[in-house]
Amino acid sequence: MKLYNTLTRKKDEFKTQDGTNTVRMYSCGPTVYNYAHIGNLRTYIFMDLLRRALKYDGYELKGVMNITDVGHLMSDGDDGEDKMAKASREQKKDPWQIAEMYTNVFMQDFDKLNIEKPEIICKATAHINEMIDYVVGLCEKGFGYETEDGIYYDISKFKGYGMLSGNTLDDLKAGARIEVNSDKRNPYDFAIWKKAPKEHIMQWPSPWGQGYPGWHIECSAMSRKYLGDIFDIHTGGVDHIPIHHENEIAQSEGLTGKNPAKYWLHGEFMLVDGGKMSKSLGNTYTIEQLEKMGYSPMVFRYFCLNAHYRKKLNFTFDTMDAAKTSYERLCGLLLKHKNSQDKADVEKLNAFKQEFKEDVLDDLNIPSALGVLWTMLKEPYSVDIYNLAIEFDKVFGLGLDKIKEETTSDIPGEIIAKAEEMQNARKEKNWAVADALRAEISDLGYIVKNTKDGYEITKK
């Protein structure tokens, strides 16, 4: 299996560190101060696809995902209020209630989207001692130092800082803001522990008085506890590359002298209408909101599967409508195969299987693997094809084995497939191809009518 490693900037052949069959993988989890939006969930669908692809390749998984329920400030650095404290103030609930409520909804979203839960899910607030030990260790090794308001990591001590993002210390110096906190040795040093003012809502005793952990130390301490000093894969969204993951590497190198993960994988962002998702624009949709608008979570998952995880994915309601139509057609075709008694050509099946596997093992080329599924479903109906599709679904996770019997449409698969191609051609404004396909479909005795949600096929 080849995986694109942000650290080496190329596709690397995947091998476990210890040569065993178990992949140790850490995924940065959610900060549970609000509902997860569809962008966040795209990143966890990516994590899930990776887990499923590894399993398809014969590995077992030991996956760890954290729940950040303290210490993530409004910026990814050291500025602003703790997100949990802010939510607690605004929603007039204590932070423990806030964390519990949003963690529950997040886990429900996982179920709805058929995202397998990592083997270990760990809350930051349940690992404060491990974090304190980590900070003590960094201080003992000369990487951590105390200031009036916290314990900071001295970036100038770690020459490799910036290896993931390509940022140099000079870039950081140039970009550093004038700091209020003049106690820091370097303006770009980051907090690993914060001292808590009396009124601060979440705080724990520590060798430096009452305080709370920095966000970055949480992941370093928990990944080390559950996966050891070096594990196989670390995942997160691309926004984690320049700060959060760079800081995690710095912390691990400081304490253990090692980069914690061999493969660093990052999921690209989801955009909405070509731009950033933000609360002020009112475009941070949740799964529940999509459901209310008539899009099932599986349609959203299918929508995500159509873009490679390293490509930006633009969410619009037009593309969601197209995904919905396409997903429904796919389910319809699949049921035709399910209900057939016919056998399929074994050589053809093997060729599909081979092509599918090559796509999946090539840095998770899921869009291409979906293409294989579509081509396969256009074959004459056969229960063997159904069975192979269900095997592919171990990776796609679309719950294809659970789709309900469809009673309507008697349209042959060949026609549906041509109509799909026509639809794609129309989307690309390839009118000549679309017209040619419409004519072919007509010659075969069917009419395709464009509708608001896509198209409709009727017999002449």
Distance CA 430, CA 235 (A): 38
Told to check if 28 binds Zn ion by CB under 5 A, we report yes
> Could you tell me which of 338, 324, 333 has the C-alpha nearest to residue 409?
333
Least distance (Å) from Zn ion to the CB of residue 68?
7
Is the distance from CB of 417 to CB of 376 less than 8 angstroms? no
Distance CA 240, CA 267 (A): 10
Residue 454 interacts with which of ligand AMP, Zn ion, none, CB < 5 to 8 Å by class: none
Q: Please name the amino acid found at residue 200.
A: H
Among 269, 317, 374, 455, binds ligand AMP (CB under 6 A): 269
Q: For the chain, percent helix, then strand, then coil, each to nearest 5? A: 45, 20, 35
DSSP string, 291-349: HHTT--HHHHHHHHHTS-TTS-EEE-HHHHHHHHHHHHHHHHHHHHHHT------HHHH
- Compute how many other C-beta atoms are within 10 angstroms of the C-beta atom of residue 58: 8
Told to check if 265 binds Zn ion by CB under 5 A, we report no
Told to check if 87 binds ligand AMP by CB under 6 A, we report no
Distance CA 170, CA 168 (A): 5
Q: Closest CB to Zn ion among 84 and 376?
A: 84
Told to check if 191 binds Zn ion by CB under 5 A, we report no
Is the distance from CB of 7 to CB of 260 less than 8 angstroms? no
Told to check if 30 binds ligand AMP by CB under 6 A, we report yes
The span of 14-22, 27-35, 158-166, 422-430 binding Zn ion (CB under 5 A) equals 27-35
Least distance (Å) from Zn ion to the CB of residue 219?
3
Residue 6 interacts with which of Zn ion, ligand AMP, none, CB < 5 to 8 Å by class: none
Told to check if 222 binds Zn ion by CB under 5 A, we report no
Q: Closest CB to ligand AMP among 31 and 247?
A: 31
- Compute how many other C-beta atoms are within 10 angstroms of the C-beta atom of residue 73: 20
Q: Using CB atoms, what's the residue nearest to ligand AMP?
A: 237
Distance CA 193, CA 206 (A): 9
Told to check if 250 binds Zn ion by CB under 5 A, we report no
Told to check if 42 binds ligand AMP by CB under 6 A, we report yes
Q: Closest CB to Zn ion among 264 and 295?
A: 264
Least distance (Å) from Zn ion to the CB of residue 28?
3
- Compute how many other C-beta atoms are within 10 angstroms of the C-beta atom of residue 342: 11
The span of 22-30, 38-46, 95-103, 383-391 binding Zn ion (CB under 5 A) equals 22-30
φ and ψ of 424, to 5 deg? -65, -40
Among 118, 150, 162, 236, binds ligand AMP (CB under 6 A): 236
**Would you tell me which residues interact with Zn ion (CB under 5 A)?**
28, 219
The residues binding ligand AMP (CB under 6 A) are 28, 30-31, 39-40, 42-43, 236-237, 239-240, 267, 269-270, 277
